[in-house]
Structure 1
């Protein structure tokens, strides 16, 4: 039975719930919910195990805070003996418009602290990522407030559609592989 580690990045605490920066948590939560997985607090993460189509998905929401996400990632990857190419990290991305999702098999952190820490802990940037575009619709000097802020009412429909598409992307990643999934997801424009 092949095993996958699905890592949603975010910050713990109710003040961060459902903010742009926590979209990784929201996607992984939705994936586990769809497949009957329940999150339980465990070492360095809230963890849910999902069995689907003969595959095991270890879904984690690190409880280490964003900047130390690599510790939880590395611990669960090693503990569950998951190959690095069978990991998928879901993360918010300012450089990608709200209308887009982007999957890659490798690539730099792009200045994202959570990804930087994972890269540091793994010693490589060659691990799969699903970047959830959050756009950059904020005034100069307001980046932190924007990233840690809630979605604007007019964004909610697109965000919900993209969460659904992200859940499907996780399923496709595990069933048809990353190349075909990238071809499907990277071209899609969400409205």
Structure 2
């Protein structure tokens, strides 16, 4: 299996809302004692096991809107079908601290997903991590490139990343609904979910 975290490379972007996919994957790699990251010009790759499942972790380093080719290259090298790939990414159409899992669907204007769709198709899995929307619609670009605040880390982000990592074995072993339900239960999201955040057909 291939797990992909989306974000922009470089220290100036590290704390951005747009980089929460990187943050989630980094937490998993650390908590499950994966190998050290092997870095080249286009990606960083680590390997490990979560329960009985071997996972390859990938962070594209080609900036968000060029994420597709590094993912497609690794998928091709290991002969992976899109349904063996899971992408962790920020989602402005979910409230802060919410987490949904779905297979396929639209990119919702997310440039990283748009580029992956172009190179890989749409049938990969997505772990959508809610970062909310700004009050003004035309501030979305600025919003996702702002750092999470200390208050956001304390009130929901750190807890959500911990829950995603703690429940990763459910995701790895083919229980996305159980994963999403447990993350919703464990993470201190500002807005309570009204049900398991799992959706195969949602186009958001």
- Common fold, TM-score beyond 0.5? yes
Q: How does 1:109-148 map to 2 (within 5 A)?
A: 109-122=107-120, 124-148=121-145
Alignment of 1:1-191 (within 5 A): 4-37=1-34, 38-42=36-40, 44-122=42-120, 124-157=121-154, 158-185=156-183, 190-191=189-190
CA distance in 2, matches of 1:107, 1:68: 19
User: How has the CA–CA distance of structure 1 residues 7 and 64 changed in structure 2, closer, same or farther, with 3 Å as cutoff?
Assistant: same
Unaligned runs of 5+ in 2: 191-204
Of the structure 1 ranges 31-40 and 21-30, higher mean CA displacement relative to structure 2 is found in: 31-40
Deviations 1:116-171 (A, max 9, x none): 0000101x322100001000134453222211000122211201111112223432
TM-score, normalisation: structure 2:
0.84
1:80-131 deviation digits (Å, cap 9, x = unpaired):
2223212110000111100311110221100100000000101x32210000
TM superposition shift of 1:175: 1.8
- Partner residue of 2:198? none
In 2: Cα distance, 1:30 partner to 1:99 partner? 16
Supply the distance in 2 between the matched residues of 1:186 and 1:125 (Cα, whole angstroms).
25
Closer, same or farther: CA 67–169 of 1 in aligned 2, 3 Å: farther
Q: Distance in 2 between matches of 1:79 and 1:95?
A: 33
Identify the range of structure 1 (171-180 vs 155-164) with the bigger mean alpha-carbon deviation.
171-180
Deviation string 1:38-76 (CA, Å, 9 cap, x unpaired) is 212036211111123232111011011110111011111
Contact 1:50–1:58 (CA under 8 A) maintained in structure 2: yes
Q: What's the TM-score once normalised by structure 1's chain length?
A: 0.89
